[in-house]
């Protein structure tokens, strides 16, 4: 899987990495048992601090998306049933279509809409973190 991270998006890199792994699992690009790149290797490829990759992997493991086996690497657990995820995405799609259409009608461009969505996701992550 090829990770594309944007350090200028305002979304922390570890959250971007987590979202891309989750998206890979949800879309089937990553399957149960697939091995993710090692922390150091991935940090080199995407030019980031290995601690950032380690943080993303820890969070993904905590949420049940991956299993980190010391000495062996990180593996997709297959936590999500792709049909369940697809059903949830299908139910959410009209909400997103309406919101994006209305934002575009107000004159926001694609990048501005993405930044707004990312900002809302950050708020949710912050609230989750504050409640722990």
Q: Residue 115's closest CA among 6, 19, 14?
A: 6
Domain residue spans in the chain?
Answer: 1-80, 81-132
Task: For domain 1-80, give the CATH number.
Answer: 1.10.10.10
- Give the phi and the psi of residue 51 in degrees, each rounded to 5: -65, -30
Tens digits of residue pLDDT in 50-93: 999 999 999 999 888 999 988 888 999 866 556 676 778 788 88
The predicted-structure confidence for 86-125, as pLDDT tens digits, reads as follows 778 788 889 999 999 999 999 999 999 989 998 888 888 7
pTM of the full structure = 0.61
| Residue 58 near residue 21 (C-beta atoms within 8 A) | no
Pairing of strands 66-69, 35-36: unpaired
């Amino acid at each position: 899987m090829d990770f594309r991270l944007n350090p200028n998006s305002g979304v922390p890199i570890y959250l971007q990495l987590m979202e891309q792994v989750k998206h890979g699992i949800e879309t089937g690009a990553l399957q149960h048992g697939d091995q993710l790149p090692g922390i150091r290797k991935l940090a080199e490829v995407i030019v980031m601090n290995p601690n950032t990759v380690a943080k993303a992997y820890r969070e993904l493991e905590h949420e049940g998306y991956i299993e980190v086996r010391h000495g062996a690497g990180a593996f997709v657990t297959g936590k999500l049933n792709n049909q369940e995820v697809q059903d949830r995405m299908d139910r959410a799609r009209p909400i997103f279509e309406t919101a994006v259409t209305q934002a575009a009608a107000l004159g926001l461009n694609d990048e501005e809409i993405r930044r707004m969505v990312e900002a809302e996701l950050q708020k949710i992550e912050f609230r989750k973190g504050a409640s722990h």
